[in-house]
Amino acid sequence: MFAQFFGSYLLNNKAVTPEQLSEAISKLKQARMKLGTLAMHQGLMTAAEVDEVCYLQSREDKRFGEIAIERDYLTGDQVEDLLRSQSPDYLLLGQSLVDMDIITNTNFQDLLLDYQKDTEIYDMDIEDQEQFDKLIRKFFLVTEKNINENVLVYMKLFFYNLVRFIGEDFTPMSPVPSSEYPVNYCVSQGIKGDVAGTAHIDMPKDVAISFASRYANMDFNSFDEYVKASVEDFLNLHNGLFGVNISNEYSKEIYLDPPKTEETDLIELDSNSYVIPFVYPFGTIHLIITM
């Protein structure tokens, strides 16, 4: 999950363009973690040493590990450990950007250090709940509001549900402070009970077709009733799972209104509203949550 937030950080800091990030994300499924990236991440090699070994590798028919051992940058045991170690998803994203010549290994190392300093999360290998909570609170800081516990739970689940039902190849953009939101194709659902609010999910119709195709695992070619139903289903499913979550963990009960297509052109927002864009390769969706 850190890859999505790291991608967002890179965009916000203009280290990459949206197009470059989108291309790097689209290559992630085929990407394989390189030993040099892991060695650099674990502090065993510097970016310059990794670059040097990569250069030598291009001239000699040897593996990265062999050259790194010959140069005394790594021991045999360290190479074995690195080969067995798990690779965090954000490292793969950074490596993809390096492979595409968008950033250098040195840039990547610096950006990662800056990101860790910015988020105050230094051990991003373990994606535990506490770190994820911290990351989301930090993500919302741009709105200059402290999000309440309900919004935190809601957003955590939304990130997971996007990964689970639509795909992990998205980048969350900073929440947009706004008093109103112009509608494209928008579905809303009222939440009542111990936690009250309204959730909207909005996207252009062509984006809805791709979104629905992924959600329903069907090929939709036009904006029809199945596409509309898919967007409604996703929101209803997410809110239902949110209800289960807060019922089980916080003993709070919610009731949902049926999801409906928003008929207005403009949604009025209040101080408890958050507009969060999520950029997928097929387009941008917006979650508008008031809670």
Partner 1 sequence: MSSKPTILVCDDSILARKQLSDVIKHFMPKSNIIEAANGQEGVELFNEEKPSLTFLDLVMPVMDGISAIKEMKKINSKANIVVVSSIGTKNELKLAIEAGAMDFIQKPFSVDQIKMLLESYFKED
Q: Does 254 bind partner 1 (CB under 8 A)?
A: yes
Interface with partner 1: number of residues (CB under 8 A)? 24
Q: Which of 256, 281, 283, 284 binds partner 1 (CB under 8 A)?
A: 256
Q: Does 261 bind partner 1 (CB under 8 A)?
A: no
Name the nearest CA neighbour of 284 among 177, 189, 144, 169. Answer: 169
Nearer to partner 1, 163 or 229 (CB): 229
Q: Does 223 bind partner 1 (CB under 8 A)?
A: no
Q: Which of 233, 281, 283, 284 binds partner 1 (CB under 8 A)?
A: 233
Q: Does 258 bind partner 1 (CB under 8 A)?
A: yes
Nearer to partner 1, 172 or 243 (CB): 243
x-or-dash string of contact with partner 1, 199-218, rule CB under 8 A: -----------------x--
> How far separated are the first and last CA of the chain, in Å rounded?
24
Nearer to partner 1, 4 or 213 (CB): 213
Query: Rounded to the nearest 10 degrees, what angle do helices 105-119 and 129-140 cross at?
Result: 90
Nearer to partner 1, 35 or 231 (CB): 231
CB of residue 248 to partner 1, shortest distance in Å: 8
Q: Does 232 bind partner 1 (CB under 8 A)?
A: yes
Tokens representing 239 are 């809110």
Binders in 151-190 for partner 1, by CB under 8 A: 165
Q: Does 268 bind partner 1 (CB under 8 A)?
A: no
Q: Which of 8, 37, 230, 290 binds partner 1 (CB under 8 A)?
A: 230
Q: 189 forms bridges with which residues in the sheet?
A: 199
Binders in 72-131 for partner 1, by CB under 8 A: none
Interface with partner 1 (CB under 8 A): 165, 216, 225-226, 229-230, 232-233, 236-237, 239-241, 243-244, 247-248, 253-254, 256-260
